[in-house]
Structure 1
Amino acid sequence: MSDSTRRAALKGLWGASALLPLVVGQATQAQTPATPAPAPQGPIPRQFTDPKTGRRVIRISDEDGSGVLYFYRPVYTPQGDLMVIKSPSGIVAVRLSDWKTSLLVKGNDNELLFMMRTTREAVYAVTDPGEGEAEDRPKTLYAIHVDTKTVRKLTRIPAGRITGSNADDTLLLGQVAYGAKPLQPKDKGSLEKFGQAEYAALGPDGKPLNFAKAKGVRMLERWAARVPAELFTIDLKTQARRVLFKTEEWIGHAQFSPTDPTLIRFCMEGPWHRVDRIKLIRSDGTGLKSAHTRSMNMEIWGHEFFSHDGKWLWYDLQTPRGQVFWVAGLELATGKRVWKRLEANDWGVHFNIAPDNKTFASDGGDADMVAHAPDGKWISLLEAETIVDADLPSYDADLITIEKFRATRLVDMAAHDYRLEPNLRFTPDGQWLVFVSNMHGANHVYAVDARPGATG
């Protein structure tokens, strides 16, 4: 898209109130944030039975202000017995057999990044002190063994961030933008409460926008800024840095396949209806291609993630935005596509997939995010039902296969403020869903029993 088109988009954003709902988020109704239900009074329970679903929920974290990593980042040991979470005291290890916690790395200036794929090591970054955004400053990456607590230095980068390692832990993957301004200055209180800026912006009428719309304004401004950016790898053995992709677009969400050490997916950040969101590329810089092609105005897709076996790439798809909802899948080896339909109330900020590579989950969203989903604040299981008979003579296997999700609600999130993303994930045995929530006021990490038919 040309610079003139970007300038026109920004001008139009502020100059025409009729355009505003189309460019800054899902909501088209209230100007004020959706108000969560009042948090329950009294001490935060260590475990409870959800009164609406009958599901057992366990509070994993010990400290107020604890959190989880972004929904697709690895947090489990290869053996599936431990996971890592964040706390105000530092990086915490959690034994999954009994949810016992132990402090692994002391100090909240140690930024937890991910677990290695082949070793029992958690990777974290320490950013050099200084002014400005952390991503503009040098940082050193370390790996700590979750059992022995042995620490080794992995690498050092002058700017940017590292977002993952490949399937055999020989390469680190990173991205950097030179001279990019933050979406909005991040104040300490907002970071501690929501993990992100407290986005604020005024609409054409001079009134404050709700959170989703204000964030959309800031994302449009960042998208239009056009600063040099790179996607790169670092060889852990030689420390060689290879630039795979250069652009003035906004790179985000870079991640290696969990099984193919040479396959990378990343995204073009920005307003979803304006970007060609999901990209695939090889670790030598070849094979760049798009994972999805827009077929209608206001069609959006994103929040992409791999299946555990690495065979499928899944993503949130809306045709058009805020109207028809799917979890769409691309089989990487064959190009086969499956779209799984869901109701607006079952949509989630993020989706995830169980180790069986069949069962999905949604972490819900409030009415600011999906205007037509007044009852969408749930942690839910999603199981697909086939709605087209493949034995019919007219069935064409080369076309998109359509399925429909049946939702099972697990946790009532009515009291959750969705400025904090739940970032849910299944445990390695598929029996629990782990997420972060402020449903009781303070941020804590929880797990809900996700076994079929389980109750408290």
Structure 2
Amino acid sequence: MGDELRQGPNAGRTLPPERERFTDPETGAQVTRLTSDPGADSRHLYFTEPGWYDDGRQLLVRSDRDGTQQLYSIALESGGITQLTDLPAEIGGVTRVATEPTALFWCDDRLVVLDLESLEVTPLYERPDGYTGSIAAGTADGARAVVALSEVLDIEGRSDDREQWIADRMDAGPHSKVISVPLSGDEPTVHVEEDRWLNHVNASPTRPELVTYCEEGTWEDVDRIRALNLETDETWLVRRTDEDEAVGHEYWLADGETIGYHGWRGSRDDPDPFFGHVRYDGTERREWPAPDIYTHFHSNTRDLAVGDGTYRGAPFDLLWEWDDGADEYRMPRKLASHGWSGDGDVHPHSRLSPDGNYVVFDSSRGGTGSDVYVVEIPDDLGDLPTFDGRES
């Protein structure tokens, strides 16, 4: 699998805490900025990926503080930072294997396993020439990595308009596969193979045979959210996109059987936004109003949902609390200001901690680049200000 992959001398080095604590002036919530290196861009894992390990005491973050993006951990109690990788190329597409002290990521064209205790790196799979790879997903039993591979086309980088590039790539129908690779090192299995752009594989945290993947493209024009049974290779649509609808940014809730997402009805210029939950087999679908189409949502359970807000009038994390008596969500509450100012700015990618006590998000509010923040959720959400619509 090419040259041997070795860690450099900085793997395992420790850095002093960079954290700063403050009270959010908009909401009164207690916020901790975990990273503050002025020359670095630091981010937590993508919102679909579980970045906590060591019983929730450590949080994985990506940072380019040495000129190339590598993986670090932050001890949440002390704020101390440990560099976990010092590899010859940038790492990307990071996830954590839920049952093991293990992370998965791409380093150049190799899918790599990292032991989070010994910091040993093991190349697992080499991507074929002419293909890109999605964020990795680790199955719930820790046995397999699952990724989507998609053909590189000559349209890459042709358009500065991101939405136009997405539409062009979707229309071109690149050859794609969804594969699983045993962490034992055995041969990979191809589960799905199509001439459509496939991407974003997410693994159920409790059902090792279940993953979602997406038909990538402009959300209005694809049936995006799809499920795959790795044991039978059966695939199916989870939430069909009806006419004048768009859905995406799908993720698993902690039960491993419910999938969250958001979307809108109508047009991008005049949308009726919503977020929703649906069982993996397409049943038990419920949807509720959202503030805008440009956002992400995350939930561990139905009891509490966090949303990014939006750069169009709600630059703060929002919390929705479930009301059992009314069988609906209460009016959302502002949790923390992140100052998201536009699609080109750092996206918060907000995610609830596994215990539901705080939210992690990214923000450029502290200066250049991105930093990682956590904000505590008060015991009584009534202490937070309500949000009843877009603000100027």
Global fold match (TM > 0.5):
yes
1:70 corresponds to: 46
Q: 1:140 to 1:339 in 2, by over 3 A?
A: closer
Within 1, Cα distance between the matches of 2:204 and 2:216? 19
For residues 67 and 182 of structure 1, the distance between their equivalents in structure 2, rounded to whole angstroms, comes to 29
Relative to structure 2, which stretch is displaced further, 266-275 or 322-331?
Answer: 322-331
Greater relative contact order, per chain length (Cα 8 Å cut-off, separation 6+): 1
* Residues 63-106 of structure 1: CA deviation (Å, up to 9, x unaligned): 23111221101211162221210111321111122332221213
| 1:240-290, Cα deviation, whole Å (9 max, x unpaired) | 221111111111111111110000101111111111111111113532110
Deviates more, 1:50-59 or 1:418-427: 418-427
Amino acid at match of 1:317: G
CA contact (8 A) 1:244 1:284 kept: no
Determine helix, strand or coil for the equivalent of 1:67.
strand
AA paired with 1:440?
G
Counterpart for residue 324 of structure 1: 272
Which residue is equivalent to 1:11?
A: none
Distance 1:82 1:142, change over 3 A: same
> Over residues 281-329 of structure 1, what are the superposed CA-to-partner deviations in whole Å (9 max), with x where a residue is unaligned?
111353211011234x321111101101212111103123452222111
Letter in 2 for 1:429: D
Cα deviation, 1:405-434, whole Å, max 9, x if unaligned, reads 521101223364442221111222211111
CA contact (8 A) 1:341 1:405 kept: no
Identity %: 21
TM-score of the two chains, using structure 1 as the length reference: 0.71
Which residue is equivalent to 2:99?
Answer: 118
Distance between the aligned counterparts of 1:306 and 1:280, measured in 2?
Answer: 11
Within 2, Cα distance between the matches of 1:409 and 1:181?
A: 44
**One-letter code aligned to 1:95:** A
Aligned to 1:29: none
> TM-score, length-normalised on structure 2?
0.82
Q: Which moved more, 1:73-82 or 1:300-309?
A: 73-82
What is the DSSP-based 3-state SS (H/G/I as helix, E as strand, rest coil) of the residue aligned with 1:324?
strand
Of 284, 287, 297, 2:234 maps to 287
C-alpha distance in 2 between matches for 1:181 and 1:385: 51
The alignment status of 1:100 with 2:77, answered yes or no, reads no
Give the equivalent residue in structure 2 for 1:160.
132
Q: Distance in 2 between matches of 1:378 and 1:107?
A: 35
Partners of 1:180 and 1:309 in 2: CA distance: 38
1:432 and 2:358 matched: yes
Instruction: Name the amino acid aligned to 2:353.
Output: T
Change (3 A) 1:274 1:348: closer
C-alpha distance in 2, partners of 1:49/1:67?
21
Alignment partners' CA distance in 2, 1:415 and 1:424: 12
Q: Call closer, same or farther: CA 1:228–1:152 in 2, change over 3 Å.
A: closer
Task: Tell me the alpha carbon deviations over residues 194-237 of structure 1, each in whole angstroms, 9 at most, x when there is no partner.
Answer: xxxxx73xxxxxxxxxxxxx321111111111221111111222
Q: Which amino acid aligns with 1:66?
A: S
Deviations 1:29-68 (A, max 9, x none): xxxxxxxxxxxxxxx9822222111112111114231112
* Aligned position for 1:351: 297
Question: Tell me, what secondary structure is at the counterpart of 2:52?
Answer: coil
The answer on 1:247 being equivalent to 2:194 is: yes
Q: Quick one: distance in 1 between partners of 2:342 and 2:19?
A: 18
Letter in 2 for 1:72: T
**Aligned equivalents of 1:298 and 1:250: distance in 2?**
21
2:238 and 2:25 mapped to 1: Cα distance? 41
Preserved CA contact (<8 Å) 1:348 1:362: no
Contact 2:222 2:241 in 1 (8 A): no
In the other structure, the counterpart of 2:322 is: 384
The aligned length equals 352
Q: 2-side partners of 1:271 and 1:413: how far apart?
A: 27
Structure 2 residues without counterparts, runs of 5 or longer: 1-17, 385-392
Moved more, 260-269 or 309-318: 309-318
Q: CA deviation at 1:445?
A: 0.7
Separation in structure 1 between the aligned mates of residue 296 and residue 208 of structure 2, nearest angstrom: 25
Structure 2 residue 33 is matched with structure 1 residue 59: yes
User: Is residue 72–residue 81 contact of structure 2 (8 Å, CA) maintained in 1?
Assistant: yes
**Residue deviations 1:155-196, cap 9 Å, x none?**
3333432511100111111111223346537xxxxxxxxxxx
Give the match's secondary structure for 1:80. coil
How far apart, in 2, do the equivalents of 1:78 and 1:110 lie?
A: 25
The structure that is strand-richer by fraction is: 2
Task: Rate the CA distance shift 1:316–1:405 in 2: closer, same or farther, 3 A.
Answer: farther
**Structure 1 residue 336, shift from structure 2 partner:** 1.4
* Structure 1 residues 78 and 317, CA gap change in structure 2 (3 angstroms): farther
Name the CA shift for 1:163/1:321 in 2 (closer, same or farther; >3 Å): farther
Aligned-partner Cα distance in 2 for 1:228–1:352: 31
The equivalent of 2:367 in structure 1 is 441
Based on CA coordinates, which of the two structures has the bigger radius of gyration?
A: 1
1:304 is aligned to 250
Matched with 2:260 is 314
Q: Which SS does the other structure have where 1:273 is aligned?
A: helix
Partner of 2:119: 149
- The CA RMSD over aligned residues, in Å, is 2.6
In structure 2, the residue matched to 1:409 is 334
**Other structure's SS at 2:365 match:** strand
Indicate how the Cα distance of structure 1 residues 108 and 414 shifts in structure 2: closer, same or farther if over 3 A, else same. farther
Quote the Cα distance in structure 1 between the aligned partners of 2:61 and 2:211.
Answer: 25
Matched residue, 1:423:
349
Aligned to 2:389: none
Tell me the distance in 2 between the aligned counterparts of 1:380 and 1:335: 27
| Structure 2 CA distance for partners of 1:383 and 1:104, relative to 1, 3 Å | same
Distance 1:241 1:223 in 2: 26
